[in-house]
Amino acid sequence: MNWHGIKSIYKFEMARTRRTLFQSIVSPVMSTSLYFVVFGAAIGSRITEIDGVSYGSFIVPGLLMLSILTESISNASFGIYFPRFSGTIYELLSAPVSVVEIVIGYVGAAATKSIVLGGIILATANLFVDVEIMHPGWMLLFLILTAITFSLFGFILGVWADNWEKLAIVPTLIITPLTFLGGSFYSISMLPPVWQTITLFNPVVYLISGFRWSFYGNADVSLGLSLVMTGGFLFLCIGVVWWIFKTGYRLRI
């Protein structure tokens, strides 16, 4: 394993975060704070609690998941797309680093940024509401799994996109709506039976449900199913990344 190569890619991507600190850290934290103010004041005054948890505290896992999903995808997709856009991808492909090392460097950096951001948002949430974490080990596991999985997905998106519009369209028009409709701000048990069934086809439901269970011990679906769905998507992304490098899809064209 070429650890020097991995370290170089990782450090380069992490340095980009320092150069774009406002966009990478400050902006997501401010947006999440506004969610607490708006939803806490407007909806929290009408919905006092859900499943025995105050509404302000209930939405914390959903807001965390929303930020982690979008930032993981954004960081990883931009990280690999920009070398393709600028033409420096060929220098990377000709360097003495393997496929695994390239992916570890880019995905590791993107996941690290998302995990750090999640920690900052969690600390910020404590300024607005009381946050209890019943199962911190499981919370950390879901946090890491989600960050890695969607960083891999972002990496795939960055390879697939051939312009800046495509790079933004999936997070904006697909991931964000799925997160909002996946129980971020409500329990799916509050929906009519038909919509509960339809919602279960949304994969984000399983991420948010498992993550919320680690906080408050209640969930819309079982913990085991959440883990299986998350792990399944992780291995699917790994398989797609392997295929991309095996075939050279949009890398050597």
Where in the chain does DSSP place strands (E)? 49-50, 53-54
Single pTM value for the model: 0.88
At 140, the amino acid letter reads: L
What is the tens place of the pLDDT at every residue in 87-110? 777 777 777 888 788 888 889 999
Phi and psi of 50, rounded to 5°? -130, 125
What is the tens place of the pLDDT at every residue in 49-62? 787 888 888 888 88
What is the tens place of the pLDDT at every residue in 149-196? 999 999 999 888 888 888 888 888 888 888 888 888 888 888 888 988
Beta bridge partners of 49: 54
Please state, in angstroms and rounded to a whole number, the distance separating the CA atoms of residues 92 and 94.
5
The whole-number pLDDT of residue 218 equals 87
Q: Are 188 and 196 in contact (CB under 8 A)?
A: yes
